Amino acid sequence: MRLFIAILLSDDMKDSLLEAQNRLYDRGVRGRFTAEENMHLTLAFIGEVPSAEPALDALAAVSFSPFELGLEGMGRFGDLWWAGLRDSAPLAALVRRLRRALTENGVPFDKKRFSPHITLLRRARGEMPGVPVMDASMTVERVSLMRSDRGKNGMIYTEIGACEARPAE
């Protein structure tokens, strides 16, 4: 199975991202736009593993307090265009802890430097117009272990485990 760890987004956040996609479309941008139900923030990409158990154990070992996540700007990795996130120390700390727990549980993952982004579209054609991503924010209270399957009409992501934030003291 193909696994990754992600933050699933609030409806508010997804609405804002959908609006940004619509503005891009209205400006003539074409490509494979991420479906609203698939929008997420990847924290660690695990890839193909024979079992989810070690990843579930790693997730269970991570603790964090709720924190705010806010959208900020747009960028691109080649023809993959994304919405960015406001700099967040709690987010960076969570990813550090998560990656440590994965390593301690022998779970392989992509060790590239964490570069927080939410994919808006792939195979984008054209220059990126200066369209703003509206302000939206959410409180992160849950981190999800996701399974990724190839469906008939694109990827299907399914949550197979989660770690809840500790209530703030």
40 is catalytic: yes
As measured in angstroms, the least distance from the Cβ of 48 to ligand ATP is 10
Report the distance separating Cα 25 and Cα 121, nearest Å.
11
Q: Is 77 in the site for ligand ATP (CB under 6 A)?
A: no
Alpha carbon separation from 106 to 11, 45, 124, 143, 145 (Å, rounded) = 34, 14, 36, 19, 16
Tally the C-alpha atoms within 13 A of residue 30's C-alpha that lie toward its C-beta. Answer: 1
Kind plus residue range of the DSSP H or E element containing 51? none
Nearer to ligand ATP, 29 or 41 (CB): 41
Alpha carbon separation from 163 to 9, 19, 86, 125, 159 (Å, rounded) = 15, 29, 23, 38, 11
As measured in angstroms, the least distance from the Cβ of 52 to ligand ATP is 14
As measured in angstroms, the least distance from the Cβ of 133 to ligand ATP is 18
Other C-beta atoms lying within 10 Å of the C-beta of residue 138 = 19
Nearer to ligand ATP, 2 or 97 (CB): 2
Catalytic residue among 9, 14, 34, 40: 40
Q: Is 10 in the site for ligand ATP (CB under 6 A)?
A: no
Q: Is 37 in the site for ligand ATP (CB under 6 A)?
A: no
Catalytic residue among 9, 16, 64, 117: 117
Q: In 27-151, where does DSSP find H-type helix?
A: 53-60, 89-104
Report the distance separating Cα 92 and Cα 117, nearest Å.
13
| Interface characters, 109-148, with ligand ATP (x: CB under 6 A) | -x-x------x--x-------------------------x
As measured in angstroms, the least distance from the Cβ of 3 to ligand ATP is 9
Just list the catalytic residues.
40, 117
Give me the residues that bind ligand ATP (CB under 6 A), please: 2, 4, 42, 45, 110, 112, 119, 122, 148, 155
